[in-house]
C-alpha cells in the first residue's frame, strides 16, 4: 500500500487493454531496457519503462550542436552483418532494417610521426604489414594474426542465446563443443592484457603502438582479436545515422509492440514485500505496481540505492567495492569547417614527450573523424572526437566550482593545440567545441562513476564474462537485472542480449515457451 504522500497508480492502468498474464516494470530505456521491453511485449506481457532522461538509448546516444551530430557511443556494432552473430537479435528488435552499415578496412592507425601501424582488420594484410615493420617479431605477429583468423568463425552470440542460469549440464556440454575450436586461442589469449602482449615485441615502435591497439591497455588480447575478426567479416560496422538513431529504432519497435515509456520519470525505490518485488516509487512519489520488476539501470544504484542494499550478499558487496576496473572518460567533440574525409578515420598519435592532461601524463592521443557518415556534419564540414580516459574522482572534487568549467576548457585547449600540430590551421576552422566528463555520463545515465561500459573487460572480469553474472538477487523474487552491469565488457549487443535473457527467464518461470519475431 502507498504510504502518506504517495500516489498509487494501479497496474491495470497499463495501456492497450490487452489481457496479458503479467505486468512488468522496467527501469531504464537504455539498450537493455528497450530490448527487455520489446521481448516482454513479444511474449504477451504488459510492460512499461520508466526512464530518468527525456530520450531513449542511455549511453547509446548522440547530441546535436549547430548542425553537427556528436556521437557518444557506437564505434562498432557486433551484429551489423547479415546472417552473422547477433544480427538476428537486432532484426527482432527492428534496429537494423533499412539501415546502412559502414565498414572500415582498417580499425585505426597508430603513429609516432615516423612509423605508422595500420591496424588492418584483414589478418593477412595486417600480418604482412606488421612483419614489414618488424621482421624480427614475425613469430609473435603470425600467432596474433592466426588468432584473428580463427575468431572470424567465432559465434559469440551463442554465449547469450540462453540465460546461463537456465542452462543444464547438457546445454553447457553443447556450448563447450561449439567453443572447442576456440579453446586454444581462448587459453592462450583470454587473460593476456594488451600491454603485456605489447611488451613481448622486440621493435620499440611496436612495443609502444600495440599497447594502444585496443583502446585500453588492460584489454585482453582475445577481445582485440574478436573485434578485428568481426570488423573483417563486416559484423562490426557503424550504423549510419549514429547511436541515437539506432536507439530510436529500438524505441519505435517497442512502441509498435504496444509498450509504454515514461520519460523524465526517475525511480527512487524498488518496492518489495515479503521478499518479492512489487513495483517502484518515483522521485515524484508516484507508486507503480507490477508483477515483475526488471532493473536495466546502473547496477550499484539498483542494488544499494533503489533496494537499499537489503538484497546484497558479501559477494555483491565485494563486486561493488571499487576494486574492479571501469572505464570513465572525457570526450572532446569538435565541429570543424573543413572536409577531413581524405584522412584516415581514426589515428592514435604517440607523443614524443608526455603531456599533462586531466592531472595525468599522457603519451598518446587518439583522434577520430566521422566523415564516413556524411549525415553527421554539414556539407564540407567534419566532426572530430578525442576520448581521454579519466578518473571520476578528479572531476567530482571540482564539480560545482568555477574550476570544473575551467578544467574542461583547459582540456579542449590542450587537444586543440595538439590538433594544430597534426592539422595546421585547424583552430580557425573550429565552429563548435563540446566537452563531456565522467560526471556528464553519470548525470545523464546514472552510471556509477560515469562508467562507459559497466565492468571493463580485463583479466579480472574475463572469468565473469565466461561464467556469466547472476541476473537475480539473493532472497528477492520477481526481480531481474539487465544491462552492462550484469554483462562484463558492456557493449550494446550484450546489453540487448541481457534484456532478452531476462524475458527468457520470466517465460521459463511461467512455464511458457519464449517467443521472438522479426517484424514483417
Q: Does 483 bind ligand FAD (CB under 6 A)?
A: yes
Residue nearer to ligand FAD on the CB measure, 95 or 506: 95
Instruction: Kindly tell me which residue out of 25, 26, 52, 303 binds ligand FAD, with binding defined by CB under 6 A.
Output: 52
Instruction: Kindly tell me which residue out of 53, 99, 104, 500 binds ligand FAD, with binding defined by CB under 6 A.
Output: 53
Instruction: Kindly tell me which residue out of 76, 154, 160, 448 binds ligand FAD, with binding defined by CB under 6 A.
Output: 76
Instruction: Kindly tell me which residue out of 147, 242, 438, 490 binds ligand FAD, with binding defined by CB under 6 A.
Output: 490
Q: Does 50 bind ligand FAD (CB under 6 A)?
A: yes
How many beta carbons lie within 10 A of that of residue 247, not counting itself? Answer: 26
Region from 13-21, 44-52, 410-418, 460-468 binding ligand FAD, contact rule CB under 6 A:
44-52
DSSP 445-505: H--GGG-SSSB--STTTHHHHHH---SSBTTBBSEEE-STTSSTT--HHHHHHHHHHHHHH
Which cell goes with 416?
A: 586543440
For residues 23 and 14, the answer to whether their CB atoms sit within 8 Å is yes
Number of residues that bind ligand FAD (CB under 6 A): 37
Region from 152-160, 309-317, 455-463, 484-492 binding ligand FAD, contact rule CB under 6 A:
484-492
Q: Does 259 bind ligand FAD (CB under 6 A)?
A: no
Question: How far does CA 76 lie from the centroid of its chain?
Answer: 10
Region from 28-36, 318-326, 376-384, 426-434 binding ligand FAD, contact rule CB under 6 A:
28-36
14-20: long-range pairs with CB below 8 Å, 24+: 14/46, 14/48, 14/260, 15/258, 15/260, 16/46, 16/258, 16/260, 18/44, 18/46, 18/258, 20/44, 20/45, 20/46
Instruction: Kindly tell me which residue out of 26, 32, 186, 386 binds ligand FAD, with binding defined by CB under 6 A.
Output: 32
Nearest-CB residue for ligand FAD: 30
Q: Tell me how far apart the alpha carbons of residues 258 and 44 are, in angstroms, rounded to a whole number.
A: 10
Q: Does 11 bind ligand FAD (CB under 6 A)?
A: no
Residue nearer to ligand FAD on the CB measure, 53 or 99: 53
Q: Does 73 bind ligand FAD (CB under 6 A)?
A: yes
The residues near 193 (Cβ < 8 Å, ≥ 6 apart) are 217, 218, 219, 220, 221, 458, 459
Q: Tell me how far apart the alpha carbons of residues 37 and 117 are, in angstroms, rounded to a whole number.
A: 43
Residue nearer to ligand FAD on the CB measure, 261 or 377: 261
The 367-406 site mask, x for binding ligand FAD (CB under 6 A), equals ----------------------------------------
| Per-state percent for the chain, helix, strand, coil, to nearest 5 | 40, 25, 40
What is the Cα Rg of the chain in Å? 23
Q: Does 437 bind ligand FAD (CB under 6 A)?
A: no
Instruction: Kindly tell me which residue out of 492, 502, 505, 507 binds ligand FAD, with binding defined by CB under 6 A.
Output: 492
- Write the DSSP symbol of residue 337: S
Region from 38-46, 52-60, 126-134, 183-191 binding ligand FAD, contact rule CB under 6 A:
52-60
Q: What are phi and psi of 200, to 5 degrees?
A: -80, -15
Q: Does 434 bind ligand FAD (CB under 6 A)?
A: no
Q: Does 340 bind ligand FAD (CB under 6 A)?
A: no
Q: Does 227 bind ligand FAD (CB under 6 A)?
A: no
Residue nearer to ligand FAD on the CB measure, 297 or 336: 297
Q: Is 409 helix (H, G, I), strand (E, B) or coil?
A: helix
Which cell goes with 378?
A: 554539414
Instruction: Kindly tell me which residue out of 328, 445, 461, 501 binds ligand FAD, with binding defined by CB under 6 A.
Output: 445
Q: Does 27 bind ligand FAD (CB under 6 A)?
A: yes
For residues 481 and 473, the answer to whether their CB atoms sit within 8 Å is yes
For residues 99 and 89, the answer to whether their CB atoms sit within 8 Å is no
Region from 49-57, 89-97, 206-214, 456-464 binding ligand FAD, contact rule CB under 6 A:
49-57
Length of the chain in terms of residues written: 520
Q: Does 438 bind ligand FAD (CB under 6 A)?
A: no
Q: Does 267 bind ligand FAD (CB under 6 A)?
A: yes
Q: Does 235 bind ligand FAD (CB under 6 A)?
A: no
Cα dihedral 299, 305, 307, 313 sign:
positive
Q: What are the angstrom distances between the C-alpha of 158 and each of 73, 112, 149, 161, 240? A: 24, 40, 19, 5, 26
Q: Does 75 bind ligand FAD (CB under 6 A)?
A: yes
We find the least distance from the C-beta atom of residue 73 to ligand FAD, in angstroms, to be: 4
**Residue holding cell 542452462?**
167
The footprint of ligand FAD (CB under 6 A) covers 27-33, 50-53, 58-60, 72-76, 266-267, 296-298, 301, 445-447, 452-453, 483-484, 490-493, 495
Amino acid at each position: 500500500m502507498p504510504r502518506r504522500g504517495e500516489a498509487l497508480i494501479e497496474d491495470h492502468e497499463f495501456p492497450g487493454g490487452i489481457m496479458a498474464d503479467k505486468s512488468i516494470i522496467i527501469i531504464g530505456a537504455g539498450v537493455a531496457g528497450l530490448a527487455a521491453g520489446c521481448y516482454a511485449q513479444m511474449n504477451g506481457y504488459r510492460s512499461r519503462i520508466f526512464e530518468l532522461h527525456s530520450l531513449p538509448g542511455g549511453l547509446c546516444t548522440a547530441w546535436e550542436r549547430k548542425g553537427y551530430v556528436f556521437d557518444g557511443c557506437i564505434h562498432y556494432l557486433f551484429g551489423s552483418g547479415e546472417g552473422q552473430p547477433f544480427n538476428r537479435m537486432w532484426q527482432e528488435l527492428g534496429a537494423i532494417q533499412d539501415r546502412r552499415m559502414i565498414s572500415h578496412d582498417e580499425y585505426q592507425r597508430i603513429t609516432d610521426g615516423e612509423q605508422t601501424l595500420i591496424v588492418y582488420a584483414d589478418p593477412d594484410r595486417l600480418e604482412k604489414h606488421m612483419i614489414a615493420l618488424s621482421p624480427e617479431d614475425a613469430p609473435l605477429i603470425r600467432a596474433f594474426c592466426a588468432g584473428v583468423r580463427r575468431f572470424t568463425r567465432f559465434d559469440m552470440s551463442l554465449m547469450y542465446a540462453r540465460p546461463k542460469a537456465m542452462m543444464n549440464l547438457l546445454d553447457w556440454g553443447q556450448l563447450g563443443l561449439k567453443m572447442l575450436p576456440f579453446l586454444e586461442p581462448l587459453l592462450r589469449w583470454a587473460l593476456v592484457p594488451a600491454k603485456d602482449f605489447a611488451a613481448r615485441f622486440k621493435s620499440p615502435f611496436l612495443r609502444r603502438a600495440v599497447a594502444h591497439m585496443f583502446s585500453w591497455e588492460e584489454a585482453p588480447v582475445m577481445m582485440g582479436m574478436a573485434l578485428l575478426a568481426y570488423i573483417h567479416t563486416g559484423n562490426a560496422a557503424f550504423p549510419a545515422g549514429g547511436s541515437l538513431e539506432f536507439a530510436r529504432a529500438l524505441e519505435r519497435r517497442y512502441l509498435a509492440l504496444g509498450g509504454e515509456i515514461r520519460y523524465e520519470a526517475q525511480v527512487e525505490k524498488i518496492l518489495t514485500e515479503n521478499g518479492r518485488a512489487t513495483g517502484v516509487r518515483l522521485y515524484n512519489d508516484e507508486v507503480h505496481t507490477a508483477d515483475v520488476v526488471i532493473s536495466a539501470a546502473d547496477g550499484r544504484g539498483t542494488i544499494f540505492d533503489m533496494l537499499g542494499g537489503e538484497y546484497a550478499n558479501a559477494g555483491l558487496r565485494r563486486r561493488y567495492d571499487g576494486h574492479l576496473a571501469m572505464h570513465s572518460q572525457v570526450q572532446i567533440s569538435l565541429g570543424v569547417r573543413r572536409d577531413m574525409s581524405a584522412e584516415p578515420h581514426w589515428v592514435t598519435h604517440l607523443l614524443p614527450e608526455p603531456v599533462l592532461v586531466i592531472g595525468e601524463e599522457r603519451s598518446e592521443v587518439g583522434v577520430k573523424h566521422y566523415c564516413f557518415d556524411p549525415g553527421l556534419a554539414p556539407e564540407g564540414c567534419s566532426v572530430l572526437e578525442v576520448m581521454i580516459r579519466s578518473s571520476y574522482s578528479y572531476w567530482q572534487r571540482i564539480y560545482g566550482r568555477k574550476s570544473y568549467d575551467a578544467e574542461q576548457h583547459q582540456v579542449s585547449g590542450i587537444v586543440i593545440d595538439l590538433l594544430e600540430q597534426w592539422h595546421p590551421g585547424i583552430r580557425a576552422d573550429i565552429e563548435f567545441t563540446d566537452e563531456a566528463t565522467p560526471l556528464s555520463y553519470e548525470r545523464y545515465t546514472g552510471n556509477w562513476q560515469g562508467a562507459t561500459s559497466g565492468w571493463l573487460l580485463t583479466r579480472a572480469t574475463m572469468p565473469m564474462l565466461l561464467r556469466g553474472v547472476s541476473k537475480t538477487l539473493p532472497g528477492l523474487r520477481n526481480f531481474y537485472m539487465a544491462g552492462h552491469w550484469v554483462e562484463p565488457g558492456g557493449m550494446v549487443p550484450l546489453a540487448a542480449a541481457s534484456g532478452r535473457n531476462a524475458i527468457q527467464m520470466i517465460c521459463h518461470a511461467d512455464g511458457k515457451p519464449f517467443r521472438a519475431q522479426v517484424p514483417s
